[in-house]
Structure 1
């Protein structure tokens, strides 16, 4: 049998998702030929190119010139305006941005990294302008309006000019898959953002190869198939079956000739089989074997090719948190530590990797200790990160042990600083222990990330504020944090116990039948919008307060993620930086602070793109040197215009004085422009060049 395994967009562009390499390894060992296609990577690699973005800009220009509807929607109009003004600059920068993210030297220059990271987001904003109301980022895809029912998902997945995936899939990916002459196509769907791309792809494949069975697997449809009133049967028009839970046995049976309708664990058209209410307990996870990455283009991921994911166990040992859908399964199947460490050795030998990202929901303390002992015993030099729980067993001795074995990053579900709220959530965390755990991590060289949330049913405003207060008070031992809002997920215990918690879904009955997550209202009047707004306000407040005493943090635009300056926000990238520089490093001290009058004879050169002028006298500009948008007063714009490469600091200051601007204010403005990389000052570039050279040297020493 020849099986095509496909992973659709969107997902992390810096590494493969594990479902394809794990299944490929299993099926290959049974003698089947497996072809892996990471269409998430292929899609973004195609649309984030100069040639494609120039086409997108023309689409935006045509819309802006010809559609009155764009004038009525201010968000769309702003996106279109930016597309036609900034778009050409972004298009010229996009290919080099991708190349530098893949380059093992340029990657470790924090300023170049930050610029390239922003350019990718700017490129996706161009896509959002052309395919509005879709909003596309390098990791997410959301419709501008709710697609709540399967009927609405079907409508949204039809190939049409507003579907951002259809044309690329039809032109590039479907012909490739059809030409492979596959016996089976399996598509892995693990996030709800992937539903519309998956349905679009399935439609197009079935139209070109109607006899090839298309099977959909992964958590999303495994959950959807178990919804009591789900209309999933309507998808059988172009999908032949839904593989529930662990796909190994069903795929193996199909490859060995068992008729599709007779295979347990696959839901088919007209079949009488109903899925079990919960997933079956996994057998010994050791039988999964090591993932096979050989069929994937590792050199094309948007990162230097030395970071790979690994799963050491399925499920969560705790499985009690009310808000989490992991409590749905309540099964935990760990691999033996010998198998895990043996796999790491193979990845080091086969791919030259130096960083491992464990994708487990949670690695319990006793397994962390055992893994650390094995890694140390076998002298395997890798840096790694994982998810763990804040428990009393996460003590200083364990933390020092795993740090010595290469752990550089720990992701903790902190959630709340209120013990009462933690008890309501059934977290099993004692808040009094958390500061010591964080301090132990930081001292040992491990950068902790804290996931937090507000709006849990029963939480008071004071309790939500206490969580932000904790982040401020303990920021010196925190690498990063994000402050999210409570989400009501269908397969969580919170949904099952919604009436007791005083929560009700606000979806229509038709939408509720197909929903994996719900808009909601909490008794007393609060709803999901209140929680989202509160999380944004508390994030901004916490960041502002931290910044007053510690300049080493930054709030990433458009998110609730606060992290150390110079440490990338993407997980695999942050691990690579922490391996290279250490947990306490940040780049803030490398940027010169101000222009000095002693540099009066040196010319200054500015470069920016004007986007729009607002009624309050400010002008929004785009800085191609770092990919940032800025809103500047008119005096600042005038100052930048004098930085034309022919005038010295002294001449610029004199020009501004003629317009009534004091010398000190002009110098302050030039210093700000220098910090924002809006101007080039020749004398300050030598120090910068030495820093970049040393960064590159450190990076080359860290990479085999």
Structure 2
């Protein structure tokens, strides 16, 4: 164990938020850790948001020029080949995205997000969003095909993020992270090379995992004497779901300590022992190489003694937002804590951690601290009780604290009994709900504690109070019929006037859920882990008829037909306007109310379309990300998770591509995708109609 000799200096500490995740605001874990450290007398703590800094660095025109040149070289190389593999076809698609971009394109898009006028001009805003999508397409061309899903790494992409074989493969990680080399080997390495006593990396999303492995390697080589620690909800999940817990050290060979669960007290324990120059004790929530294998004893923080989070540790001007949006957690855990599908955190006997609430007497100080930095906040909580929610609103109203905020709540009937209006007066602009299902029988199986007939009155009360409602649910719960799945969408259609955004996903069975622990109560006869997943995040299951079920199997043409009828308020998903609980959505709710985007504002052309002459015919039939996703689904249907080595077999299949005598003209859309252009002599009405529909789907006309 590395020790720091005691002297008159405090441990010099660097806390890092790694790529790749939402660049619109800092994640709040480091704000809470910094607050705990400062409260305990440790002021030499520095926070580095490598996520937003990486993206801003890569957006610089000189680096963009290099990316665009590399994409041009890829196109030229592939266009000389007589036949392309599936991987070539994907890479060619990505390289085409760079055709319409300029070196300043991404910087201009980020400037739009940061401009308080341009940001709320939805036409200009969407042009900026499409530019970022195009950029990520281009970066995928120089990295690995189909490596991104939005602004994160794809779960069903070229790397299995739950396979240690993939995650500890140096050459594979080098290819995956190649688009970020300018930052990782430049500014980040310079930051890590300072004289640190402690480097902590907070990892909260699966998309950050490969970057964390690389950053940990860099930190160990550049600061060999520093104590290197990992923590965060994703690290907690890794420990929780690893088949063999000790293999975590294969992923992070240079790391000294890992913190699981809530980390404030563990962080202070680590700082204290460094300060005194003694070994790290066997504290709850801390594991080391010398410690016992498995999950350590859990520690749940006392909300009454928790320090005020520090939001002044961030340079807010770096984020892709016209104003700060602060994340704040006045409660932890879930007061309901019964939903049978839920599996969050390290609680072993309930779906998530026990409910704890910040004392009302301390809320005012917290909220005033937020108001000094931001006038918009997202309450990052599992679910607040109606009683606490009422008290929270009263603190804001009675103390004249003006903050617009959003949170995820349960669809409690008290919202229809005057509480919604009070929340609006307290600054609530949008609320999201785990509505889950339109079938009461399924809701009962979930143990949601909600009556379906109550929900319309709740939504109506929110609408009258000018609060945007965001509805979340899923289809495919064990035993759910097609009719019941359809009812989930039909309910939303019947009540579409009273909600703004909706997202209905596919049920995924996780190991710690009540369903997995008591499968026979849900008609499940068998549960299995996917071969190839070392981190077992999801399970397949067989029903009473022996049919194996995986996420997405419940979908049918009837369900999809009804789903297609749901109104769409905005064009994009997280982290953009239109994403449930996204910071940009909250800002638009604050400006425009439940309409989110003013009526009619999405009409009109948002961006120019670039032309490109390709020698290939039928480019539109080249392999796509959707093909790769279907391959993942097919393999999981067969009970195994495909990794990169097997994916390469599929990607390396040669597909003989025809060449056009005079070439084919492509129209490159602003997000980097394309359609085939046809000259007037060959222009057909059916093609014209298809093109119009496609452009409308992109919000371009």
Q: Is TM-score (shorter-chain normalized) higher than 0.5?
A: yes
CA RMSD in angstroms, aligned pairs only = 3.7
Q: Which residue of 1 aligns with 2:323?
A: 305
Q: Which residue of 1 aligns with 2:196?
A: 182
Q: Which residue of 1 aligns with 2:390?
A: 369
1:97 maps to which of 109, 113, 118: 109
Separation in 2 of the partners of 1:249 and 1:616? 55
> By how many angstroms is 1:366 displaced?
1.1
> By how many angstroms is 1:172 displaced?
2.4
> By how many angstroms is 1:490 displaced?
2.6
Residue 577, structure 1, aligned to residue 588, structure 2: yes
Separation in 1 of the partners of 2:228 and 2:82? 38
Residues 287-302 of structure 1: pairs in structure 2 closer than 5 A: 287-302=305-320
Separation in 1 of the partners of 2:180 and 2:93? 25
Q: Which secondary structure does the structure 2 equivalent of 1:200 belong to?
A: helix
2:552 maps to which of 523, 530, 537: 530
2:291 maps to which of 271, 280, 286: 271
Equivalent residues of 1:63, 1:70 under 8 A apart: no
CA deviation digits over 1:670-696, x for unaligned, max 9?
A: 9999998979xxxxxxxxxxxxxxxxx
TM-score, with structure 1 as normaliser = 0.80
Q: Which residue of 1 aligns with 2:624?
A: none
Separation in 1 of the partners of 2:553 and 2:432? 23
CA deviation digits over 1:270-317, x for unaligned, max 9?
A: 22365347x33432x132222212221111100012321111111111
CA deviation digits over 1:553-604, x for unaligned, max 9?
A: 3554xx6x899xx86766211111121122135344246789xxxxxxxxxx
Equivalent residues of 1:567, 1:578 under 8 A apart: no
Equivalent residues of 1:133, 1:145 under 8 A apart: no
CA deviation digits over 1:250-281, x for unaligned, max 9?
A: 2222222241254443111122365347x334
Residue 39, structure 1, aligned to residue 50, structure 2: yes
Q: Which residue of 2 aligns with 1:700?
A: none
Q: Which residue of 1 aligns with 2:163?
A: 149
Distance 1:154 1:586, change over 3 A: same
Separation in 2 of the partners of 1:126 and 1:669? 23
Q: Which secondary structure does the structure 2 equivalent of 1:5 belong to?
A: strand
Q: Which residue of 2 aligns with 1:259?
A: 279
> By how many angstroms is 1:455 displaced?
1.0
Q: Which residue of 1 aligns with 2:646?
A: none
Q: Which secondary structure does the structure 2 equivalent of 1:132 belong to?
A: coil
2:227 maps to which of 201, 213, 217: 213
Greater shift in the superposed pair: 118-127 or 129-138 = 129-138
Equivalent residues of 1:505, 1:518 under 8 A apart: yes
Equivalent residues of 1:166, 1:200 under 8 A apart: no
Residues 473-512 of structure 1: pairs in structure 2 closer than 5 A: 473-498=494-519, 500-501=521-522, 502=524, 504-508=526-530, 511=533
Distance 1:129 1:540, change over 3 A: farther
1:317 maps to which of 331, 335, 341: 335
Distance 1:336 1:75, change over 3 A: farther
Equivalent residues of 1:454, 1:464 under 8 A apart: yes
Q: Which secondary structure does the structure 2 equivalent of 1:187 belong to?
A: strand
Distance 1:567 1:136, change over 3 A: closer
Residue 337, structure 1, aligned to residue 355, structure 2: no
TM-score, with structure 2 as normaliser = 0.80
2:266 maps to which of 242, 250, 258: 250
Q: Which secondary structure does the structure 1 equivalent of 2:565 belong to?
A: helix
Separation in 2 of the partners of 1:354 and 1:562? 19
Q: Which residue of 2 aligns with 1:167?
A: 181
> By how many angstroms is 1:523 displaced?
5.0
Q: Which residue of 2 aligns with 1:621?
A: 667
Separation in 1 of the partners of 2:82 and 2:367? 52
1:225 maps to which of 239, 244, 257: 239
> By how many angstroms is 1:387 displaced?
0.6
Equivalent residues of 2:136, 2:151 under 8 A apart: no
Q: Which secondary structure does the structure 1 equivalent of 2:34 belong to?
A: helix
Q: Which secondary structure does the structure 1 equivalent of 2:169 belong to?
A: helix
Equivalent residues of 1:76, 1:129 under 8 A apart: no
> By how many angstroms is 1:15 displaced?
0.8
Distance 1:457 1:546, change over 3 A: closer
CA deviation digits over 1:372-428, x for unaligned, max 9?
A: 111111122221101100123332311111112111100100110011111111111
Separation in 2 of the partners of 1:60 and 1:672? 25
Equivalent residues of 1:10, 1:193 under 8 A apart: yes
Distance 1:145 1:109, change over 3 A: same
2:299 maps to which of 280, 297, 304: 280
Equivalent residues of 1:543, 1:555 under 8 A apart: no
Greater shift in the superposed pair: 122-131 or 168-177 = 168-177
Separation in 1 of the partners of 2:402 and 2:442? 40
Separation in 1 of the partners of 2:689 and 2:237? 60
> By how many angstroms is 1:146 displaced?
2.4
Q: Which secondary structure does the structure 2 equivalent of 1:260 belong to?
A: coil
Equivalent residues of 1:448, 1:479 under 8 A apart: yes
The higher relative CO (CA closer than 8 Å, separation ≥ 6) is in 2
Residue 234, structure 1, aligned to residue 256, structure 2: no
> By how many angstroms is 1:363 displaced?
1.6
Equivalent residues of 2:668, 2:674 under 8 A apart: yes
2:215 maps to which of 189, 198, 201: 201
Say how many residue pairs are matched.
628
Separation in 2 of the partners of 1:37 and 1:384? 26
Residue 425, structure 1, aligned to residue 436, structure 2: no
Separation in 1 of the partners of 2:489 and 2:613? 35
Distance 1:208 1:166, change over 3 A: farther
Greater shift in the superposed pair: 266-275 or 33-42 = 266-275
Q: Which residue of 2 aligns with 1:346?
A: 369
Whichever structure has more helix as a proportion of its residues is 1
Distance 1:70 1:139, change over 3 A: farther
Q: Which ranges in structure 2 are unaligned for 5 or more consecutive residues?
A: 1-10, 345-349, 622-663
Distance 1:538 1:358, change over 3 A: farther
Q: Which ranges in structure 1 are unaligned for 5 or more consecutive residues?
A: 595-604, 639-655, 680-704
CA deviation digits over 1:456-497, x for unaligned, max 9?
A: 111111111111111111111111001101112233223323
